[in-house]
A and B are shown apart, each in its own frame.
Chain A
């Protein structure tokens, strides 16, 4: 049997507001437990929520960036359930009238093709606190610092048909929220996390299969792995004559398996109803237009522009625009290099990313700045150094030995372009290697590379390779 996979994602992006969604408490990560839990965060008797307008603005910004409908009259609802880290016994969320409605985005399939993925909705809600099960002598500690942090839950249509597509979609949203500056995208700190709904059906069948929901998968790698494991599990169940049960499953990366958390029968009845403490959020065109005017250049537009402006390949442009900070680094490098797009792209994607990955650093803590990298590229372009010598320069810059000009000067790496000096070196090499000269003149052109190598070596790599080639050829043909 040929199986078709159907995947939909629910992404929770923590909005980068300074204060919580319904109170003035700070949202900063990593504070001592309960030091950022005000009366509202604690759900004290008598307290009331007041919507943080910044969270609303960010949600609308997200919607506008994805051609989503913006709900002019949206409503907050209470999702009722008991849990110790949910102080009020309900979570303020949105149900029937979310702030962001239907929209879509395009993912790159990596084979030159793209695919349109529908966004069903995106709604605002508050995060819960954290239950800490360790170090409390058998009891559970509750930290309510996170309680009330604003979340945007982005729900996709079930439009993805492989784990790879799901990851591409998640990466796309991840890049987008950072471009929009509405989420820091920090997955280790839980600022960006995702649940996946997965089902399978025989190829060609219209009707959807029974889905399972995979909870709280907090890295791109785990999303791919969890979905693939779940697809295999569902195929095994059905091909073994069984039925997939609608349930919530938890991915365990250590055991590399998904396991049941609760079945549909055990699912909560959340008793949603409109929150009477909050008025409906009514927004007008003027408000929406003002936010639209603040939209930055988005990844797709930037990618198209980079390809048009610098003749970059689709893959390179994709890689550069997948991360806002990387794209910014690249563009600053281009500017510092005097407009060298292609070279800037190569150096950013190969040398710089390679060095960062090797040391586990992010672009933000790169010791080589765009000004330094651009300055070096300038010296490649004006023939001060060769591409090969540039690698030495880059390493020195990485090691903190100063900018390109300083390194070149200090280490004497300036390329030799003086025709007389190069000619002298060539003459010496030819004089010392008569046997190879005979071979070359006898028709063995492969030997040419040997001569280039010898000349470059004699110049300690500093001779301009183009000039060496040209002059050597002339001399050998003599």
Chain B
């Protein structure tokens, strides 16, 4: 059962070939057996999961079930879950039991999903390797000595290791797409504003966006359908009717114009990864697509702009973790200043501190114009690049990451090299566009992801483009040997 996709499981549940309770128990058993080796779950909600599964079974029996009723799922531990520990991968929130559900959680619960647990992640979503988690790194199911990517590393690993058929992730600079690529699964970051951010612990508010992670594009379409929609609790949520993401999955790709930005194939890209991506592009040619060489001339601005904007916002977003009302509080504070300094000093890890410092510096008097304003202007230039490109192409493709999964510890002492891991994904967040990563092959048994970038609100097309590829390839069906 654990090798089936969500679409297949949904059919099996509706055909009553299996009950949600059996399915859930099957996954709980696998989690118990395999999670210690991948460290992908930080919390497993077994009892709650079985209770939800039994409730789902009643709906299925009554014939009032939806496509996701009874489907087990893992939530990234960045989403607040009522009555369940919500840590954001940080010591700061090790004791935090959220008193409410994030909108994404509510919507997916309403759609009938069964939450198996909460997945490990880089602390406050800051990282590209999952090594910054207070709960220790997640291991890549394809190579346990390698990182799964980040920050949604746990969410990617549980799908790759068959410890959940799907999961939720969040993507601020590549945090869904990069781990999806490194773990050989499919992940989608929707257009900014499509999915409510309410209850999702903020890293960088103008960039954060939640999205689905699963084995296939079809599964991502089903999950995304349950996640999107206007939320009056999120002022940046877009009031726009969502289309059906599944209806056009099989639409032929004849005449599809695919843009290949030269900047995504230049120096820094592992030549073997490049080869895999080029082979994937060839598949698209066979499917009838037309390839157009394009340029995104301001690509080089994206990493510097991102590492001003994201830290600036995070320096402010993380101020609420002060030891006063919730979360970690230092022992015996001498006075207010001591309470702040030690609670934050002891509660946050080094990467989080680094970004708070960078952000506070960039916003400080006298530096604001040189850093924050300049970064915002760069952001506009990056958006304009995409806008111009989408006048001539329907989607943009390239590698998701410049390399396959690197080994644990390999980049831990070199933050800049780590930051460059997101060089192809970051611009998409800065522009607010939707982007996907689709399994496209392997280099030395480590997965390679193909990134597909779409125009605003063009998720249905992205999913169609990814699905057609998955109809003619089987990279997404591969499972790591140990977790088959």
Contact = CB atoms under 8 A, between A and B. Distances in A.
A425 interface: no
A45 B316 CA distance: 12
A45 B201 contact: yes
B90 to A, nearest CB: 10
A89 B364 contact: no
Contacts of A277: 202, 205, 235-236
B88 interface: yes
Nearest to B232: A50
A50 B319 contact: no
B449 interface: no
A473 to B, nearest CB: 81
Given A45-B96, A48-B233, A78 B205 contact: no
Contacts of A46: 79-80, 98, 102, 197-202
Interface string A88-112: 1110000000000000000000000
Given A48-B198, A89-B322, A80 B363 contact: yes
B265 interface: no
A245 B242 CA distance: 60
Interface string B66-80: 000000000000011
A44 B202 contact: no
Q: Among A45, A50, A82, A277, which residue has the most Cβ atoms of chain B within 10 A?
A: A45
A185 interface: no
A177 B339 CA distance: 41
A208 interface: no
Given A84-B324, A273-B316, A276-B206, A39 B100 contact: yes
A446 interface: no
B62 interface: no
A78 B320 CA distance: 13
B88 A45 contact: yes
A82 B235 CA distance: 25
A273 B319 contact: no
B198 A47 contact: yes
Interface in B290-320: 312-313, 315-316, 318-320
A50 B199 contact: no
B59 interface: no
B313 A276 contact: yes
Nearest to B208: A276
Contacts, number: 101
Interface in B23-75: none
A274 B316 CA distance: 11
Given A39-B100, A90-B316, A271 B324 contact: no
A44 B99 contact: yes
Given A39-B99, A43-B325, A273-B368, A48 B234 contact: yes
A87 interface: yes
B364 A269 contact: yes
Nearest to B366: A269
Contacts of B319: 80, 82, 88-90
B460 to A, nearest CB: 25
Contact of B320 (A50, A87, A272): A87
Nearest to A51: B235
A90 B96 CA distance: 21
A44 B326 contact: yes
B348 interface: no
B241 interface: no
A272 B369 CA distance: 12
Nearest to B323: A84
B230 interface: no
Contact of B93 (A45, A78, A82, A88): A45
A45 B320 contact: yes
B15 interface: no
B442 interface: no
Contacts of B360: 271
B340 interface: yes
Contacts of A272: 363, 368
A389 interface: no
B235 A278 contact: yes
Nearest to A269: B365
Contacts of A217: none
Contacts of A78: 316
B316 A48 contact: no
A352 interface: no
A300 to B, nearest CB: 37
Interface in A255-286: 269, 271-273, 276-279
B336 interface: yes
Contacts of A87: 320, 324-325
Interface in A172-215: none
A448 to B, nearest CB: 80
Contact of A48 (B206, B235, B372): B235
Interface string B82-96: 000010100001001
Contacts of A49: 235
B86 A45 contact: yes
Contact of B205 (A142, A271, A276): A276
B236 A279 contact: yes
Contacts of B313: 276
B78 to A, nearest CB: 8
A87 B321 CA distance: 9
A413 interface: no
Interface in B353-380: 360, 363-365, 368, 372
A42 interface: yes
A89 B316 contact: yes
B100 A273 contact: no
Nearest to B309: A276
Contacts of A80: 315-316, 319, 363
Interface of B: 79-80, 86, 88, 93, 96, 98-100, 102, 197-202, 204-206, 232-236, 312-313, 315-316, 318-322, 324-327, 336, 340, 360, 363-365, 368, 372
26 contacts: A42-B326, A43-B320, A45-B80, A45-B86, A45-B93, A45-B321, A46-B98, A46-B197, A46-B199, A47-B199, A48-B236, A49-B235, A82-B319, A84-B336, A88-B319, A88-B320, A89-B319, A89-B320, A90-B319, A142-B325, A271-B315, A271-B363, A271-B364, A271-B368, A273-B363, A278-B236
Interface of A: 39, 42-51, 78, 80, 82, 84, 87-90, 142, 269, 271-273, 276-279
Shortest beta-carbon contacts, A-B, top 9: A89-B319, A276-B206, A276-B205, A271-B363, A46-B199, A45-B201, A43-B320, A46-B80, A269-B365
Given A80-B363, A89-B320, A90-B319, 10 more contacts: A44-B80, A44-B99, A47-B199, A48-B197, A50-B232, A78-B316, A80-B319, A276-B236, A277-B235, A277-B236
